[in-house]
Every structure is written in structure tokens, then in C-alpha cells.
Amino acid sequence: MVQGGAVLTFTFLLVALIPFIGPLVLILTPLPVLYYCSRLGRLRGLTVLAVSFLAAYVILDLIAHRANLSVLFMIGFTGVLLSEVLKRKFSVEKTFLSATLALFCCGAGFVLYHAFHSGIAPWQMIETNVAKIIEENIKLYAQMNISAEQVQMIRENAPQLTLFFTGIFPSLGLSGILLTVWVNLLAGRRLFERGGVAFPDFGDLTAWKAPERLVWIVIIAGIMLFVPLDEINVVGMNFLIVSCLIYLFQGLAITAFFFRQKKIPKMFRLLFYGLILIQQYMVIVIITFGLFDLWVDFRKRMQEVKDVQS
């Protein structure tokens, strides 16, 4: 419990004191909460979490640092929720779906609460925050080695960018939550194994496939983008973003299956995954593999080639 308290307190302080913490690190912050809540049990885990939250708050108050307590609370809540979902021993699809929808509903409730508390419409609050983020990025670009013409072009198109990102905010939020659940459960699986903590058997994740009917959502969403109505375009874009993320997971499963078949060293696997984070076009390639796997069945063909070679 002492070790867990120290780790969780350090996690909260890390998030509070480092404003430009990397997205991947921020996504992984619920992992320590998930691990210790599962390892220590519900009561002791929640006790350690509460003490750690209080300790971090006191330390931040002593150094006169104003932290975003809402973010710290969401980190703790996410870890606890994932721990509770894992205890149910659902299938991998039901585990991801239940955790993602629960977090999405909590996030939506959080937005609604702050919107009504502020006396403005939820959508206006989201638009205001998106506009602030875009403005902060424009200031950041101006300080970087980016030409003044490009910065000016972004500034001139800021209103259109604000409307666009406000429109797709639901899918971005849902995708972010789904990605958070995915990263923490995959990392948690390895961490639980090393710590001797029971973890649900999700089977061979490299064989995972998205539901075949999902392709119809992609097709319908694509058609909606060509309808000459902005509202329908926005709805179609939201569906398309979430669908592409699911096919990204399927493409990554195909990639992991290929690495295992070819016995690619872990170093080269990490380099490849790092390349995906750096080069956006690689993400499109992986999504394409995931989508066309419905007709091609890449893993079956790779297995047949291996059987022939052996």
C-alpha cells in the first residue's frame, strides 16, 4: 500500500507540474491506478487512491501551484472504472465497449455540468475551448520555425477550423477514450503478468476482427460526406473517424500477427510502431489493411504461405 501510494502520488504530481506532458504519457496515467486497485482490492485500492490524491493536493498547495483537479480526478476515476470492468471478466469486445461508453457518458456529464454551471450552452463552451486551443497553437507556431505566411494562413482560417473541430468533437472525444482504454488494457496485461495479478484471458488478440457490419457504417458515412448539407457532413465525419479508429485496431492486429509469424525482433517492432506515431501516412496504411481484411483475410493468407513454406 505504501508503494502504491507513492507511485500514485508521483503520477498526480507529474501530470500537475508538467504542463506539456506528452499525449502518450498522459494516456497511460490511469495505468498505475488500474494496477494497484486490482492488486490491492477494491477497499484498499480506493483508500490508497484517496490518500494519494490528498497528498498530491497538499503538496501542490504548499508550493502554491494551482492544479487542474478535474483532470486528476478523471485519471483516478478512469483507473478505478477499468479495474471494475476487468473484474467482470467480459469478452474483449464487451470490456472495451462498456468501459468506453461509461467513460464517455461521464465525460459528457462533466461537460454538461460545467456548461450549466457557467450559464452557457454545452456546444458554445466546447467551441470556446476549441478556439482557445487553436489560438494557443497559433502562438506556439509563431515561436517555432514556421514561416509567417503559414502562421497567417492558419490565423485567417481559425474560425473555420474552430467550427470543424467543434463539429467532430464527439468523435474525437470518443476516439480518445477508446484509445485510452486500449492502451491501458494492453499495457496493463503485461504489467499484471509481471506482478502476478490475475488478468482476464482475452485470447489471441492478433486474431481480432471488427464486426463485418461495420463496413456499412463506413460506406454510409462516406456517402454522407458528399451530401450538400453541412449538418449531414458533420455527422458522417464523426461516424467515419470512430470507424477508422476501429479498423486501425484491426490493422494493428494484422501487423502483430505478421511480426509473430516472421519472428521479427522486438527492437524492429518498436521502431515500426514508433514510425506509426511519427508518420501519419502510416496510420492510413494500417487502417486500409484493417478495412480490406474483410475481403482479403490477410492473416489467413499469411498462415497459408507459412504452411506451404514449412
Same domain assignment for residues 8 and 148: yes
Residue 196 clears pLDDT 60, i.e. is over it = yes
Residue 188 contacts residue 31 (beta carbons within 8 Å) = yes
One domain, residues 181 and 289: no
Do 223 and 161 share a structural domain?
Answer: no
- For 20, 259, 275, the CA distances from 283, given in Å and listed in that order, are 24, 17, 9
Which pLDDT does position 114 carry in this prediction?
Answer: 83
Q: Running DSSP on this structure, what letter comes out for residue 226?
A: T
* 186 and 210 inside one domain: no
Residue 220 CA to residue 303 CA, distance in Å, equals 33
Same domain for 193 and 212, yes or no, is no
Band (275; pLDDT cuts 50, 70, 90): confident
Q: What's the CATH code of the domain at 166?
A: 1.10.1760
308 in a structural domain? no
Final residue before a domain boundary, out of 197, 220, 243: 197
Do 165 and 54 fall into the same domain? Answer: yes
Output the nine-digit C-alpha cell for 162. 474552430
What pLDDT, on a 0 to 100 scale, did the predictor assign at position 23?
60
Alpha carbon 22 to chain centroid, angstroms: 13
Centroid of chain to Cα 253: 17
For 29, the grid coordinates are 496515467
Q: Are residues 184 and 213 in the same domain?
A: no
Compute the average pLDDT of residues 177-200. 90
For residues 193 and 247, membership in a common domain is answered with no
Residue 20 identity: F
Residue 22 pLDDT? 57
| Ordered alpha helix ranges (H), 88-121 | 92-118
pLDDT digits (tens, 9 = 90+) for 182-193: 999 989 998 998
State mean pLDDT over 94-113.
Answer: 90
pLDDT score, position 310: 62
Domain count across the chain: 2
Residue 309 or residue 48, greater confidence: 48
Domain with 118 in it: 1-197
